[in-house]
Amino acid sequence: MKTKAACIAFLTMVLVLFGVYAFDRVERQHQKEKFRAEVRSQLSTIEAKLEAGLNSRLFLEKGLIAFILTHLAIDTQHQITQQDVDRFAKEFMPELFGIRNITLIQNDIITSVYPLSGNEKAIGIDLSRVPAQQAEVQKVKETRKSLLSGPVDLVQGGVGIINRTPIYWNPQGGKETIYWGQSSLVIMQENLFQEAGLYDQSGLRLAIRSRNGLDSSEVFWGDEKIFQSDPVVVDVKIPSGYWQLAAVPLEGWDLNGPLFCWIWIVGGFISFSSGALVWFFIYSREIGKEIAKQKIDSLNQKFVRVFNASPTLMAIYREKDFMYVAVNDAWLTALGYERDEILGHSEEEVNTLALEEKQKSMSELVLGNTKEFQVRTKQGETRDWLMSKAQIQIDGDGCILLASVDITMSNHLEKEIARLDRLNLVGEMAASIGHEIRNPLTTVRGFLQFFRSKNQYIQDQENIDLMIKELDRANSIIKEFLSLSKNRSINLETCNPNKIIKELYPLMYATSVAEGIEIFLELDSVPDVLVDENEIRQLILNLTQNAREAILESGKIIISTSAFNDDVVLAVKDTGKGIPLEIYEKLGTPFVTTKDQGTGLGLAVCYRIADRHNARIEIDTSPAGTTFLIRFNAIRPA
């Protein structure tokens, strides 16, 4: 069946190509005829110039003959002398361009030559006795017509074309004419051909042959093979016959037309398309079922490719036993598994979900709906996924297609936005009521100090000191509370973080050493930043205080600076036990603290300071310690 379809398709292609070939031949012939017409037009121009150049010189010869016959009519005994010829030539032929000489032959004897200089020896020669010229002289005499012969190599040099014209006259009005002689005009071939433009046809190969009685079909200029190459030929009329001027292109007539490539490209495409259509029609009719199966296989392969390339996290498992039958690349990448670790295994074996989460999710997840749940990667990391499912049939088994989207980052951003909202709310409250609370506290503290100075309250001084201490503590809390104000004014100045750290180092060192903690500086050369120096001091002191409180026993704190791209990074690292997960998610929220005496405002103040300076706080924590990274925008040099 395949052979039959291929043979018929091949015959179809051959027929179409034959049609294309025929059309190409017609187009070639049309192009050739158009080209021949252009060449014929060029040759016609050359022909006209040749005839004009030749006739213009022959008219001079006819003028000389008329001059002679006029003198004979006046005086039958007049002898035409060299002086007569010179006088006529000087008057009517002042410039003999392209003419070597003009000669008078009386009774076959040369009597006059113009110009005479250099031709003196020719005077008196009887041409009827010169074998090389005897036949031409006799032919002119017998035919009484002009005879153009040549070209011939001239003794004086060059190549000439010779025209002989017989001179007959009728003395005293008699009925019979008498042969007087002949005139001979030698025309320089090179001047005549150059004037006609034969040497200017760079795109053509030219040849000329004569068609007169003496040298019929003789090619006297150009390559005689041109006349055998299907040339364009025009006739140039000359006395006693004509010349044939032939021309062919330098590259021949078999030139490709402007449509040659397109004809064969389109024709080849049509041929191939026709063959393909015929093959497809016959082959599909003979083996339709096989084609249908191949299409299904192709669709399956496409589905597999689309399934694996989809950015959505997708998996398929059998509904009866939760056995995974397919997972795509995005699913494997997100969970960190290889395909052979998932396929053929059930969810119980892979254990990407906690048992209670899996039972709840699989039972409550309704077809067409979505539900958020947590999965565990191979590395133990917990991720938030938003899942939907659909029911499908594969090989007769009911299966579930799970489509999931990782929303871990989205949830994180939502929490961060909520934290910032709470921080903004607290800041607004601080700006509204902070000062109203401090004023009465200041008044109470003043009266307590006054009572403390009175003798009648000596027995209460201990209680008064305690109250003053607690009032001072409340005032410090309110001061931190006011630091959370979003619209607090700051004085931004160009400053280098290393300078601030070095100034604070003695204070931080003394405090840390007293608690048995080592503190180190690792300061790189960094660009200046635009900051409020007092606020950055508070930021550093808050972070180092948190670091000291995170270290239960002896440990160390490392304060470092570095430049990364367009950022200046300030890092405070401690060797404490790290931040618990439940606290980590709430970091920066006011009043959230793990300390017995803490207010939960220190880190919130740090976040607010970073926000006012367009800085970012990043946290890296583990059981080996915690690092706070604050990224400032560096000042770019102008």
Distance CA(39)–CA(167), nearest Å, equals 40
Residues 176 and 114 grouped into a single domain: yes
Confidence of residue 214 (pLDDT cuts 50, 70, 90): very low
What's the mean pLDDT in 529-541? 88
pLDDT at 341 over 60: yes
SS3 347: helix
List the CATH number of the domain containing 580.
3.30.565.10
Domain boundary among 233, 249, 265: 249
Confidence of residue 398 (pLDDT cuts 50, 70, 90): confident
Between vectors from CA 501 to CA 500 and to CA 507, what angle results, nearest 5°? 105
pTM: 0.40
- Of these ranges, 262-276, 312-326, 362-376, the one predicted with the greatest mean pLDDT is 312-326
Residues 368 and 452 grouped into a single domain: no
Residue 346 DSSP label: B
Confidence of residue 529 (pLDDT cuts 50, 70, 90): very high
Domain boundary among 249, 267, 284: 249
At 220-274, the pLDDT tens digits run 888 888 888 888 899 888 877 788 889 988 877 766 666 667 667 777 777 777 7
Confidence of residue 553 (pLDDT cuts 50, 70, 90): confident
DSSP strands (E only) in 407-516? 493-495
What pLDDT score does 218 carry? 79
pLDDT at 346 over 90: no
For the chain, give the percent of residues with pLDDT over 90: 8
Residues 184 and 166 grouped into a single domain: yes
Q: Which residues contact 144 (CB under 8 A, 6 or more apart)?
A: 166, 168
Residues 541 and 589 grouped into a single domain: yes
Residue 549 within a domain: yes
Residues 416 and 401 grouped into a single domain: no
List the CATH number of the domain containing 442.
1.10.287
Computed over every residue of the chain, the mean pLDDT equals 79
432 vs 555: which has the higher pLDDT: 555
Residue 470 within a domain: yes
What pLDDT score does 427 carry? 59
What's the mean pLDDT in 333-338? 85
pLDDT at 18 over 70: yes
Residue 242 within a domain: yes
At 154-203, the pLDDT tens digits run 777 788 888 889 988 887 666 778 888 899 888 888 888 888 888 887 78
Residues 396 and 421 grouped into a single domain: no
Residue 266 within a domain: no
Whether the Cβ atoms of residue 99 and residue 89 lie closer than 8 Å to each other: no
Domain boundary among 355, 379, 406: 406
Residues 498 and 455 grouped into a single domain: no
Residue 303 within a domain: no
What's the mean pLDDT in 352-372? 63
Element (H, E) at 455: none
The CA R_g of the chain, rounded to the nearest whole Å, is: 59
Residue 560's closest CA among 630, 635, 636, 634? 630
Q: 213-222 contacts: CB < 8 A, separation 24 or more?
A: 213/139, 213/240, 213/241, 214/135, 214/136, 214/139, 214/147, 214/149, 215/149, 220/150, 220/151, 221/151, 221/189, 221/193, 222/246
Residues 467 and 539 grouped into a single domain: no
559 exposure class (CB count in 10 Å sphere: 0-12, 13-18, 19+): buried
For the chain, give the percent of residues with pLDDT over 70: 82
Residues 234 and 361 grouped into a single domain: no
Average the pLDDT over each of 82-86, 121-125, 214-218 and give the range with the smallest value: 214-218
CA distances from 224 to 209, 219, 231, 607 (A): 8, 6, 11, 103
What's the mean pLDDT in 120-149? 85
Confidence of residue 215 (pLDDT cuts 50, 70, 90): very low
The tokens describing 460, both together, are 């209460």
pLDDT at 57 over 70: yes
What's the mean pLDDT in 541-548? 88
Whether the Cβ atoms of residue 316 and residue 400 lie closer than 8 Å to each other: yes
Confidence of residue 504 (pLDDT cuts 50, 70, 90): confident
Confidence of residue 365 (pLDDT cuts 50, 70, 90): low
Whether the Cβ atoms of residue 247 and residue 286 lie closer than 8 Å to each other: no
List the CATH number of the domain containing 335.
3.30.450.20
What pLDDT score does 124 carry? 87
CA distances from 537 to 234, 528, 533, 543, 607 (A): 107, 15, 6, 10, 14
Whether the Cβ atoms of residue 247 and residue 206 lie closer than 8 Å to each other: yes
What's the domain count of the chain?
Answer: 4
At 400-444, the pLDDT tens digits run 888 888 888 877 767 666 666 665 666 566 555 555 666 677 777
Confidence of residue 558 (pLDDT cuts 50, 70, 90): very high
- How many CB atoms sit inside 10 A of residue 127's CB? 21
Residue 297 within a domain: no
Confidence of residue 19 (pLDDT cuts 50, 70, 90): confident
Pairing assessment for the beta strands 517-523 and 555-564 based on DSSP bridges: parallel
Residues 498 and 463 grouped into a single domain: no
Q: 410-415 contacts: CB < 8 A, separation 24 or more?
A: 410/384, 411/384, 415/585
At 282-299, the pLDDT tens digits run 767 766 666 667 776 677
Residues 477 and 524 grouped into a single domain: no
Residue 336 within a domain: yes
Residues 353 and 415 grouped into a single domain: no
Residue 460 within a domain: yes
Residue 371 DSSP label: E
What's the mean pLDDT in 78-87? 83
Residue 575's closest CA among 594, 548, 595, 596? 548
DSSP strands (E only) in 139-278? 147-153, 159-169, 178-188, 204-212, 218-222, 232-238, 241-249
Domain hosting residue 361, numbered range? 312-406
What pLDDT score does 95 carry? 60
Confidence of residue 213 (pLDDT cuts 50, 70, 90): very low
Confidence of residue 526 (pLDDT cuts 50, 70, 90): very high
